[in-house]
Amino acid sequence: MRALNKTAYNHYYKLWKHVLPPWSPSLEETKFCSQTLDRLEEKLKRRLKVLVLGATPEFRDMLALKGHEVTLLDVLEPMHVAMTSIMRYKPKYEKLVIGNWLNADEILENNHYDAVLCDRPFDNLKFKDYDKFILAIKTILNKKGIVLFGITNNTFGKNFSFKEYLKIFNSEESNFDLFSHRVLGLYDLATTFGAYNEGNYELDWGLLRKEFLKECKKHKLSGEEINKLWGMSDNYKDRIFDTFIEVLPPSDVVLGKIKKQFKIINIFEDKTEPYMKIKKFVYGNKL
């Protein structure tokens, strides 16, 4: 293994340890993916060849218990090492390939994989690259191959002021004990702060944080209050999100792209918690 960038490792470890569903796979979503793979294994009557895009520990733990042949495709080795350290089970049949998802059809064997599994891949790709990405995934799947993609529902549009945001915080403060409620609140502020670009669907977290802290200073909030409102890390002074760009089109736009290359078999929504409404899991096979 190449020398590991410890700063990068700490960055990704800290980020993922702090993130909760729906920004990471929920138990119900992981169960849905597990059951879908079980049905495919029963149909094919053999161990599956599964490609995981990224290094999501929740999915890798589930696959390790099943004993499937797993390939990880990730552009960042420090991310892989950090995610592996979070796993509960040691993978036996897993290999890492370093590379860009957009070039999956050039890096990996074509017509090979039974399933491709990824939570929220589109959030990490430029919108202009969606078609190339989806076609590359279709190319590496075998004839009976399936995809399982977690996609985000765009929740922007409230466009309310920071003053209104504080009013909600002060009247329903207990809600802000939940990571999900805090981050959904920040999404609601993104349009107000000009941090969400409706043309390319990009949310600039660095700009969002900058404008957020300006407003906090203007309203003379304490460090403790800012930490509770911010919610994206243990300390609002932590700059791990300053370079993070999240791509969040409406879900129907993403589904329209997927349907060009895949037949949608099922769309699963975890309804155990209200905040999971911003997420869907799409199960489909090749056209």
Per residue in 205-258, pLDDT tens? 999 999 999 999 999 999 988 888 886 666 788 777 788 899 999 999 999 999
Is residue 220 domain-resident? yes
Same domain for 216 and 195: yes
Instruction: Tell me: pLDDT of 1 over 80.
Output: no
pLDDT digits (tens, 9 = 90+) for 99-150: 999 999 999 999 999 999 999 999 999 999 999 999 999 999 999 999 999 9
Residue 15 banded pLDDT, cuts 50, 70, 90: low
Same domain for 259 and 243: no
Range of the domain at 78: 6-153+249-286
Number of domains forming the structure of the chain: 2
Same domain for 270 and 199: no
Same domain for 255 and 239: no
Is residue 46 domain-resident? yes
Same domain for 14 and 144: yes
- DSSP assigned state of 72: E
Same domain for 148 and 60: yes
With b for 16 or more beta-carbon neighbours within 10 A and e for fewer, the 104-133 pattern comes to bbeebeeeebbbbbbbbbbbbbebeebebb
With b for 16 or more beta-carbon neighbours within 10 A and e for fewer, the 154-168 pattern comes to bebeeeeebeebbee
Question: What phi and psi, each to the nearest 5 degrees, are found at residue 132?
Answer: -60, -45
pTM above 0.85, yes or no: yes
Which pLDDT score is estimated for 70? 97
Contact 24, 119 (CB under 8 A): yes
- Containing H/E element for 191? helix 179-192
Is residue 1 domain-resident? no
For 234, the token pair is: 């243990």
The CATH number of the domain where 33 resides is what?
3.40.50.150
For 28, the token pair is: 């119900």
Same domain for 177 and 119: no
For 76, the token pair is: 């960042």
Same domain for 258 and 124: yes
Same domain for 255 and 128: yes
| Percent of the chain scoring above 70 in pLDDT | 89
Same domain for 201 and 114: no
